[in-house]
Every structure is written in C-alpha cells, then in structure tokens.
Amino acid sequence: MTTPESLPKAEMVVNAAERFDNLSPAELLEHAIRNGEGQLADNGALVCDTGEFTGRSPEDRYIVKDDTTADTVWWGKINSPFDPDKFDLLHRKMIAFLADKRIYTRYAYAGAHPDYRLNLEVINTLAWHNLFCHNLFLRPKPEELDGFKPEFTILCVPEFKANPEEDGTRNENFAILNLSRNMILIGGTAYAGEMKKGIFSVLNFKLPTERATLSMHASANKGSREDTALFFGLSGTGKTTLSADPQRQLIGDDEHGWAEEGIFNFEGGCYAKVIDLSAEKEPQIYGAVRFGAVLENTKFQDGGRTIDYADKSKTENTRVAYPIHFIDNALEPSVGGIPENIFFLTADAFGVLPPISKLTPGQAMYHFISGYTAKVAGTEVGVTEPEATFSACFGAAFLPLHPTKYAEMLGEKMEKHQTNVWLINTGWNGTGKRIDLRHTRAVISAALKGDLEKVDYQSHPVFGVAVPQSCPDVAGEVLNPEKSWKSREEYDKKAKRLADLFRENFSKYEEFANDEIRAGGPVEG
C-alpha cells in the first residue's frame, strides 16, 4: 500500500515521560509484572484482566465521516459517523494526557503478502497491550525496522476517558477510525481486541476499494496436496478450533484477504477463546498457552497459579493471544493458493440444520449474506428458547462497506474458480446435545478429501440444501438431524420457524440481491 508521506509518526506527536520502543516479549512481560498489569501462570502465560470491558463495545465504535468515507461507508447502526473536528480535538487531548505517562511503541504490519501489507505503528500505555500487538500483528524482521515507514497508527490509552458532551462520543469509552488521517484512537477500555478488530475494519475498507481484494472474517489452512480451505463463522462456531487441524498447516485463524494469486493472513497470531479449554479437545490451542502468550480474564484454581479454564465468573469470553508459530504446524509466511473448499460454520441451537450440507452458488451467497448462528436456551438470562443471530458476511460488525460489496466479490471468485461451498452445523440436534466435535471433524475431513463427491444426496425439505446420506466415520442418523427428534412434526415446526427467521433477516438485503441469491433461501413458505 502507498505510504502517505505526511503521516505523523508516534515520535513526532507523542511526548511522554518514559518511552520504550519495540521491546521483546520477555522485556514486555517484565514490565507488565513490574507495573502490576498481570501475573504469570504456571504454564508461563501472562494472565491479565481487561477491567470493565470484557469484549468489544460495538455502539462505541465510530468512523470519521469526511470526503474519503461519506459516499463509500455503509452508515447506520454498525458504522456510526464521527465529526472530523471532534476527532482532532480528542486526538490533541489524548496526546496532552500522555505527557507524564509511560508509553510502549512498536512497529508491526498487517498482511502476510508483501504486495498487500499495511505498515503499522502502535502506541500503548500498557505493556501487556504491546505484547498483545506483538503476538497478533505481523512482526518485521530486525533489518526491516531501519527505514520502516508506518502507514497507519493505533493510539490506545485505556486510562483516558472521553467527555461525551464535549467530545461527541456516547460514553467515556471509544474506538474511532479515521481513514483519511490513517489513525485509530482507542480510550476508556482495556479490551485488547479493539485494536485487532480496528485494523481488520481498516483492511475491510482499504483492500476492496483500493486493491480489488476481498477481505474476509475467516480462518484458513492448507493440506498436503497444497489445497487451501476457508472457514467462515461467528464467535463460538469453531472457526479457530477447526482450522487448527494437526493434519493440515494453519494459515490463520481469523482474518484473511483473497487476492488474484490466492489468500493471505492479515495477522501474525491467534486470538482464541479458552472457556473450557482442554488438551484432549483442542491440543493445538492448549499447547500454545505458554510463555509469551497473553490470557485475558481467566482465573486461577484455588491456592495456585494453574488456570481454571472452566471458570467464567468474569466472562465467558476468556481468550488467549499468541504468535502463530506457537501452533506446531503453522505456515509461515501465512499465504495459500486459491481455496478449493469453503466452509460456512454455524452453531444452530434450533437443532434443524445438518452437520454438513453442500450449497449451490445461489445458496452460498444467500447464507454468506445471512451469516447465521444461534444461542442455546439457558446460556443467558432471559433466553428461554433458541435465539437466532445474523451477521452479514459472518462479520457485519467489522464491515465499513455495504455487505453486498463483499458478497459480490466472493460470488465472482467462487464462480471463477468453481470452489465447493459447504454449510457446517457445529451446534445442536434434536437430542439437546451439541454435535460431537469428532463428527464435525469427520465431515470436514471427508469434504476436503473428496470422499463426498460420489455419495447420494437428499434435498433438505425446508432449506433446499444437499445433505449427504453417507460419510466415513459418521452414522447416517447423525447426518440427518430430523432422525434425532422424537417427533418429525416437532422437527418440521422448528425448521419452518428457523426458515421464517432467515426470511425476516434477508428482507433488508433483498432489494440488492439478484434472482439467483433470492432463490438460495428456504424453499418452503
């Protein structure tokens, strides 16, 4: 990407009492412990608490509305406009706030393909935040640091709180993207994911508009045949778990671009959920929780420094951030060829969707725009029946452009390369139990190996997707979810209810969709 010559560097705009540049992980760990920011677990990982915010705050995320963004950004509930003058005022106030503070800066970049990388400069007041950025973003080689020219700056100051009446924010916390000044301001929150997802949003704007490259909220891996696979899915659907396959090389667990040559990871690390983590279920992620990794909001077992992964007293959104090479079979550089298979992951709490089904191009576009998953009854106060969640392109919260822009780009690529697209349900069936992870792995493995090319399929009576009737290591009754219900009538009722929710959600995109996409939805009225 072109580097704006006028872009202010951190050393040009920040005058702090103490400053530490590009410290190593060991040095940052020393600083974090000395500063009282966290504690070491017995596995060597640094355990930190994010304070009031244990996740992103979508309503407090803004994009500056100016000549660059006014006619391109998808304005609305997800992308709230922010006044350029208010941004400048807030920026000056943050710089003044840092005058007597300690800061940690580092150079990093996003985009593993050299032709599409975005050079970053990160400024933090917390050492563990700087370690998080070391782990999650790509790390320049020592020889690359000389003459490094940042293209985008992240200024993250959790201790600084906005004055809503004066600064134009809704609350004291904020994350504001300025796509003209090439800067993100974050304040009032210590949740580190705001930095990661802020840069993801930047790439979701810049790559499609400036480089004709599709940006994706997806994980990716590569097999021994050099075949690449993509996994789209919202939080909790298994995107990180299923891409960390010991039989395949991990390209990345969350954010990728699809250029003419193939795909590339945006990041240099992984940010995985660790609630109920175990060596048996997720050995790759479990083994990555070690010295250099950062754990968020986890608790210790009584009387020691051993992590209690089942403890959700702080939040269910407990996470670990680690560099990608902590995964044994991670691929570096994190690039792959044209995807042969794409998997849309959904945790269907209604117990309706099959563990695997094959999609036509129209169905693929319909389900991509829908971005469905669901919460199971009883997981939250007030949730007494399954609750559907729809997030366009499996990542609406990070899309500055209208979802149809990304959908059109994906559709063009799928058609050009004849990519197989599969819908995978990692959620529940009629027994009320979650689909066994070994069955999910088995159906994905069969799709990747081509074992499902010659089996018989049946069309789902409500959603119209093609359901394989046999699969290695998976019983036929598992492949057909209606067989797990006590009553076929009850199953049909649930299926029709879910179909109605799909139609209701899709109605807001229908006017932008072509006939093929409209035909990809549920088939029964």
Whole-angstrom CA distances from 252 to 130, 151, 230 are 21, 23, 10
How far apart CA 133 and CA 521 sit, in angstroms, is: 40
Check: CB of residue 419 under 8 Å from CB of residue 413: yes
Active site residue 93: no
Active site residue 217: yes
Active site residue 312: no
How far apart CA 275 and CA 309 sit, in angstroms, is: 5
Phi/psi of residue 503, nearest 5 degrees: -65, -40
CA angle at 171 for the pair 170 and 177, rounded to the nearest 5°: 70
Residues 6+ apart with CB under 8 A from 375: 349, 383, 386, 387, 389
Active site residue 319: yes
Indicate the SS3 state at residue 320: strand
The residue annotated as part of the active site, out of 235, 315, 389, 484, is 235
Active site residue 497: no
How many other CB atoms are there within 10 angstroms of residue 169's CB atom?
Answer: 23
Q: What letter would DSSP give residue 39?
A: E
The residue annotated as part of the active site, out of 217, 405, 460, 494, is 217
The residue annotated as part of the active site, out of 91, 139, 181, 319, is 319
The residue annotated as part of the active site, out of 31, 50, 54, 56, is 56
The residue annotated as part of the active site, out of 201, 215, 240, 373, is 240
How far apart CA 217 and CA 234 sit, in angstroms, is: 8
The residue annotated as part of the active site, out of 139, 197, 206, 248, is 197
Check: CB of residue 254 under 8 Å from CB of residue 239: yes
Active site residue 49: no
CA angle at 498 for the pair 492 and 503, rounded to the nearest 5°: 125
For residue 355, cis peptide bond before it (omega within 30 degrees of 0): no
The residue annotated as part of the active site, out of 65, 254, 439, 460, is 254
CA atoms lying within 13 Å on the CB side of residue 75: 10
Active site residue 106: no
How far apart CA 53 and CA 397 sit, in angstroms, is: 17
Nearest to 283 by CA among 324, 328, 313: 328
Active site residue 254: yes
How many other CB atoms are there within 10 angstroms of residue 13's CB atom?
Answer: 16
Residues 6+ apart with CB under 8 A from 98: 14, 15, 16, 125, 157
Burial of 482 (0-12, 13-18, 19+ CB in 10 A): buried
| DSSP assignment of 218-285 | EEEEE-TTS-EEEEEE-TTSSHHHHH--TTSEEEESSEEEEETTEEEES-SEEEEE-TT--TTT-HHH
Phi/psi of residue 350, nearest 5 degrees: -80, -15
Check: CB of residue 430 under 8 Å from CB of residue 482: yes
The residue annotated as part of the active site, out of 91, 113, 239, 248, is 239
Phi/psi of residue 343, nearest 5 degrees: -115, 125
Instruction: Please give the positions annotated as active site.
Output: 56, 197, 217, 235, 239-240, 254, 319
